[in-house]
Amino acid sequence: MGARVKIEALPELAAKVEERIRLKDRRRDDRVDLTGTALAVLHDRDGGPKTAVVGLLNGSSGGLAMVSHLACGPGCRVELRADAGQFKPGVGQVVRCEPMGDGAYRLALRVVKKVAA
């Protein structure tokens, strides 16, 4: 027979479960779908800065997902300016770069600094 939990213990158990879920999910805010493009300047360790127009996928207060024709590995610094003013200019750091096929890459950025518009 399985262990029984007393009703009085349920709030504490629920709080522990919520904390475990929170620790596994690094996002603190919901993602918002984005459309359009942005101008990105990618600074990697392989030379000078590279400029690319990137497609915006989604974002939150702590990060941004985008599609680029340039690969830029974790740690790469990215300066962004949105074409349509969807977000304030800022600087991010690549935390993930995944090939999507056809020479495109999905980049996940962590926001490092927001710049006054």
**Is 57 contained in some domain?**
yes
Domains identified in the chain, total number: 1
**Is 3 contained in some domain?**
no
Residues 58, 34: contact at Cβ < 8 Å? yes
CATH number, domain containing residue 50: 2.40.10.220
Nearest Cα to Cα of residue 113 among 62, 39, 57: 62
pTM over 0.75: no
pLDDT tens digits along 29-86: 677 888 888 899 999 877 779 999 999 888 888 888 999 999 988 999 999 887 656 5
**Is 23 contained in some domain?**
no
pLDDT of 22 > 50? The answer is: yes
**Is 41 contained in some domain?**
yes
106: containing domain: 32-114
**Is 68 contained in some domain?**
yes
**Is 101 contained in some domain?**
yes
**Is 9 contained in some domain?**
no
d(CA 45, CA 5): 55
